[in-house]
C-alpha cells in the first residue's frame, strides 16, 4: 500500500462517521515500542493523536511498498522504485513529517520518553502486512492480532506463515537509545511469548501476503457497508493457514455512545435437503480447510430507518483454535434516500448487452463459437427485487411535484404522455408477442432474484412472424399457401409429420438463465458507483434441430432508470 492509498484509507475511515467503532488502548514502555494499531482513531491526525503522549518519534513501515535497495539492474536498466515504505513523525518537526495520519491495521515503531497509555475510539481494520525477503534476512514487521492482554507462543501464531518454523524465533524491537532501536532475538528468553497489540520482526524465506491464519476481505475493503442504496454486503474469509480452522463470526455493539446495531440477516446456502434461506444473524461458526475460502452474504432491512438515520456495529471474525487470531470490522447502515417515484436498489430498468461466445455441439458439449453474437438485454426489477425480461419498453421524462424531470417507464411508446420525449428500447432476440416474460423459480427452489439467479422461459409460436421456420415467400413449400390463410395442425404434434401435408412452422422454446457471480463465486450485483452489474447467461433453444442448442456468454447491465413500475 503506497502512501497515497494509505492516506485515502485513513480519510475514508474518518469520514465514515456512522461506522461501528471499538475502544482500543495503546500501551507504551519507556524507550522503543513496536505496536500494532487495530483501528483508525476518530482523531487520526498524527500530531493530535500523539499530543497527550510522551512520544518523541514514531514511524510506520508499510510493507506492501517494499522496494529493492538496488536502483540499477545488472543489465544496466533502471529498477522502478515504489514510494517510500517507511513514514516518520517527529515531535520537533511535525509539519515536515511524512506520517500525517494514524491508520488501523498497521504496525508502528514508537519512541516514548517514559511509559504511558492512551485509550481511544477507532474504526477497526483487518491487518495490512506483506512478507518481503531482504538481504539482511529481517523482512517483515508482523502484528499479533489477538485480544489485548492475551499472549501466545510465536510458533503457534506465525508458524503457518511464509517464515515457517523460523517464526519460533521472533525479534523484538526495543531499547532506550532514541537514535535507533535494538533488535533482540526473543529466543534468548525462556518460553517467550508474543502479545496482542504488539509487532515483531520475523525472518522470512518466502515473500507473500499473509496477515495471519485468517485473511478477511469485504466488498469495499472497509467493512460491511449498508450505505445509501445498499442492502447487501459480502464478507470473504480465507483460511490462510495449513491446518483446518474453526471460525466464529459474531456481531458486537459499537463502542460509541448512542450507536444502535442494525438488524442483519445471513444467507444460509442450500444443502442436499434444504433450499437456501435467510435467517437472523447473531453469530455463526464455520469450519474451513487449509486454504479454503468462504463467502458470507449479509442483508440489512432498513425499511424502518427514517431519512438521515444510521446504525452501527462491529463484526468480529475469530479463530477458535490455538492462534486466537481476531479481526474486527465496522458495520454501517444508513437510510436509503430516493427521489419521488424511485425505489430502492436494484429496482428499475437494467439495459445492456450479452456476448454469446460458446455454442453446443451435437453431443451437448460447449465449444467456442466461430464468432461471438452480441445482443441487447432488457431486465426490469420491481420493488421486491423480482426481475422481468422485456422485449421492449418506453422511457419517458416526466416532471415531478418539485418540477424535476425524472425517467418513467411505459409498456408501449404510444402510452407515454404527450411532451414526455419518450424513446423506445427493444431487443431483437425476442418475438414481439412476448413483450414481458416473468421469471421462473430457481433450480434450488428459491424465488427468482435479481443479482443471484433468474430463469426466463418463452416460446416463439409456429405462426409468429418472427419464427425462423415460417417461409411465406415460397408458395409450394410443404403444400401450404403463401399467405398461411389455410388452417394447419400444430407444428409441434409429431402425428402431423406422417400426413400428406406437413405443417410449415414449428415453435421454438427458449430458456434463459442469468447468474450473477465473479470468478471466485462472489455475487456481483452489489451497487457500484455507475450502477453496473455483470454475470453469465446460459441460453437453451429447443426446436431448431433434433437436439437442444445451448449458448453461453457474459452479460453487462446498467441501471438506466430507477422506476419500479411500468405503466400500461
With a cut of 70, which residues of the chain have pLDDT below it?
1-17, 63-85, 132-139, 163-168, 187-191, 205-207, 229, 338-343, 400-403, 442-447, 470-505, 518-530
Asked if residue 478 is part of any domain, the answer here is no
Query: What DSSP string describes 323-388?
Result: T--EEEEEEEEE-----TTB-STT-EEEEEEEEEEEEE-TTS-EEEEEEEEEEEEEEEE-TTS-EE
pLDDT at 300: 87
Based on the fold, state whether residues 93 and 157 are members of the same structural domain: yes
Based on the fold, state whether residues 198 and 220 are members of the same structural domain: no
Alpha helices in 105-186 (DSSP H): 154-158
Based on the fold, state whether residues 191 and 302 are members of the same structural domain: no
Coil vs helix vs strand at 6:
helix
How many other C-beta atoms can be found within 10 angstroms of the C-beta atom of residue 254?
A: 24
In the listed set 334, 368, 390, which residue is the last one of a domain according to the structure?
A: 334
pLDDT at 167: 60
Asked if residue 74 is part of any domain, the answer here is no
H/E segment holding residue 48 = helix 46-50
Based on the fold, state whether residues 532 and 457 are members of the same structural domain: yes
Instruction: Give the separation between CA 357 and CA 347, rounded to whole angstroms.
Output: 29
Based on the fold, state whether residues 230 and 181 are members of the same structural domain: no
Based on the fold, state whether residues 52 and 124 are members of the same structural domain: yes
Q: Which residue has the cell 444510521?
A: 310
Q: What is the CATH number of the domain that holds 227?
A: 2.60.40.10
Instruction: Give the separation between CA 369 and CA 354, rounded to whole angstroms.
Output: 14
Enumerate the β-bridge partners of residue 565. none
Nearest to 389 by CA among 462, 464, 455: 455
Based on the fold, state whether residues 255 and 279 are members of the same structural domain: yes
Based on the fold, state whether residues 325 and 360 are members of the same structural domain: no
Could you tell me if 502 and 482 are in contact, meaning their C-beta atoms sit under 8 angstroms apart? Answer: no
Asked if residue 187 is part of any domain, the answer here is yes
Nearest to 10 by CA among 113, 76, 130, 105: 105
Q: Tell me 12's DSSP state.
A: H
Asked if residue 491 is part of any domain, the answer here is no
Instruction: Give the separation between CA 330 and CA 314, rounded to whole angstroms.
Output: 5
pLDDT at 81: 46
Based on the fold, state whether residues 246 and 309 are members of the same structural domain: yes
Domain span at residue 227 reads 214-334
pLDDT at 100: 92
Q: How many domains does the chain have?
A: 3
Based on the fold, state whether residues 199 and 265 are members of the same structural domain: no
pLDDT in tens, 405-462: 778 899 998 888 887 888 899 988 899 999 999 998 766 666 677 888 889 999 988 7
Asked if residue 209 is part of any domain, the answer here is no
Q: Which residue has the cell 487495530?
A: 38
> How many angstroms separate the most distant Cα atoms in the chain?
105
Asked if residue 487 is part of any domain, the answer here is no
Strand stretches in 254-347, DSSP E: 264-268, 277-280, 283-288, 293-300, 310-319, 326-334
Query: What DSSP string describes 439-491?
Result: EEPPTTSPPPBTTTEEEEEEEE-TT-TT-TT--TT-TTGGG--TT--S----T
Counting beta carbons within 10 angstroms of the beta carbon of residue 412, is it exposed (0 to 12), middle (13 to 18) or buried (19 or more)? middle
How many helices (DSSP H) and strands (DSSP E) are in the chain? 3, 35
Asked if residue 475 is part of any domain, the answer here is no
pLDDT at 77: 57
pLDDT at 23: 96
Instruction: Give the separation between CA 9 and CA 18, rounded to whole angstroms.
Output: 16
How many other C-beta atoms can be found within 10 angstroms of the C-beta atom of residue 105?
A: 23
| Terminal Cα distance for the chain, rounded | 53
Based on the fold, state whether residues 225 and 365 are members of the same structural domain: no
How many other C-beta atoms can be found within 10 angstroms of the C-beta atom of residue 305?
A: 17
Based on the fold, state whether residues 185 and 260 are members of the same structural domain: no
Q: Which residue has the cell 405443417?
A: 503
Asked if residue 114 is part of any domain, the answer here is yes
Query: What DSSP string describes 190-228?
Result: TT--EETTBEEEEE-SS-B--SSSEEEEESSSSSEEE-T
Amino acid at each position: 500500500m503506497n502512501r497515497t492509498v494509505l492516506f485515502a484509507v485513513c480519510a475514508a475511515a474518518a469520514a465514515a462517521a456512522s461506522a461501528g467503532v471499538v475502544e482500543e488502548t495503546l500501551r507504551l514502555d519507556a524507550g522503543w515500542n513496536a505496536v500494532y494499531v487495530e483501528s483508525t482513531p476518530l482523531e487520526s491526525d498524527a500530531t493530535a493523536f500523539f499530543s497527550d503522549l510522551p512520544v518523541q518519534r514514531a514511524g510506520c513501515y508499510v510493507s506492501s511498498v517494499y522496494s529493492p535497495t538496488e536502483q540499477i539492474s545488472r543489465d544496466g536498466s533502471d529498477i522502478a522504485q515504489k514510494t517510500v515504505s517507511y513514514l516518520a513523525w517527529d515531535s520537533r518537526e511535525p509539519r515536515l513529517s511524512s506520517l500525517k495520519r494514524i491508520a488501523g491495521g498497521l504496525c508502528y515503531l514508537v519512541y516514548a520518553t517514559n511509559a504511558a497509555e492512551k485509550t481511544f475510539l477507532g474504526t477497526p481494520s483487518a491487518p495490512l502486512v506483506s512478507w518481503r525477503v531482504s538481504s539482511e534476512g529481517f523482512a517483515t514487521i508482523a502484528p499479533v492480532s489477538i485480544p489485548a492482554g492475551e499472549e501466545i507462543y510465536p510458533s503457534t501464531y506465525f508458524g503457518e506463515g511464509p517464515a515457517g518454523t523460523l517464526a519460533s524465533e521472533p525479534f523484538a524491537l526495543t531499547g532506550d537509545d532514541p537514535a535507533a532501536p535494538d533488535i533482540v532475538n526473543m529466543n534468548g528468553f525462556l518460553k517467550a511469548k508474543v502479545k496482542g497489540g504488539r509487532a515483531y520482526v520475523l525472518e522470512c524465506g518466502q515473500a507473500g501476503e499473509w496477515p495471519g491464519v485468517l485473511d478477511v476481505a469485504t466488498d469495499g475493503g472497509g467493512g460491511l457497508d449498508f450505505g445509501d442504496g445498499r442492502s447487501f454486503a459480502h464478507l470473504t474469509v480465507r483460511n490462510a493457514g495449513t491446518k483446518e480452522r474453526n471460525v466464529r463470526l459474531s456481531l458486537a455493539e459499537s463502542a460509541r455512545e448512542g450507536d444502535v446495531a442494525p438488524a442483519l440477516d445471513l444467507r444460509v446456502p442450500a444443502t442436499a435437503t434444504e433450499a437456501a434461506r435467510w435467517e437472523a444473524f447473531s453469530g455463526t461458526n464455520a469450519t474451513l480447510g487449509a486454504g479454503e475460502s468462504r463467502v458470507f452474504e449479509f442483508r440489512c432491512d432498513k425499511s424502518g430507518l427514517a431519512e438521515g438515520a444510521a446504525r452501527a456495529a462491529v463484526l468480529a471474525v475469530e479463530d477458535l483454535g490455538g492462534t486466537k487470531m481476531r479481526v474486527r470490522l465496522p458495520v454501517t447502515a444508513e437510510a436509503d434516500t430516493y427521489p419521488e417515484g424511485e425505489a430502492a436498489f436494484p429496482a428499475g430498468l437494467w439495459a445492456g448487452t450479452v456476448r454469446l461466445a460458446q455454442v453446443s455441439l451435437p453431443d451437448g458439449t460447449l465449444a467456442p463459437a466461430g464468432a461471438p453474437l452480441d445482443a441487447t438485454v432488457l431486465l426490469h426489477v420491481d420493488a421486491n427485487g423480482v426481475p422481468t425480461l422485456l422485449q421492449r419498453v418506453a422511457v419517458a421524462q416526466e416532471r415531478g411535484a418539485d418540477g424535476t424531470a425524472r425517467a418513467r417507464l411505459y409498456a408501449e411508446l404510444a402510452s407515454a404522455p404527450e411532451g414526455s420525449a419518450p424513446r423506445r428500447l427493444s431487443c431483437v432476440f425476442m418475438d414481439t408477442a412476448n413483450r414481458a416474460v416473468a421469471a421462473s423459480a430457481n433450480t434450488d427452489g428459491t424465488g427468482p432474484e435479481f443479482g443471484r439467479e433468474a430463469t426466463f422461459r418463452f416460446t416463439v409460436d409456429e405462426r409468429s412472424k418472427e419464427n425462423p421456420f415460417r417461409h411465406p415467400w415460397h408458395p409450394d413449400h410443404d403444400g401450404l399457401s403463401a399467405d398461411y390463410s389455410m388452417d394447419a395442425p400444430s407444428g409441434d404434434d409429431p402425428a402431423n409429420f406422417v400426413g400428406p401435408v406437413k405443417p410449415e412452422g414449428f415453435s421454438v422454446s427458449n430458456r434463459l438463465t442469468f447468474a450473477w457471480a465473479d470468478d471466485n463465486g462472489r455475487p456481483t450485483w452489489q451497487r457500484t458507483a455507475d450502477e453496473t452489474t455483470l454475470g453469465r447467461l446460459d441460453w437453451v433453444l429447443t426446436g431448431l434441430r433434433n437436439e437442444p442448442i445451448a449458448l453461453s456468454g457474459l452479460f453487462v447491465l446498467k441501471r438506466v432508470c430507477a422506476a419500479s413500475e411500468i405503466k400500461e
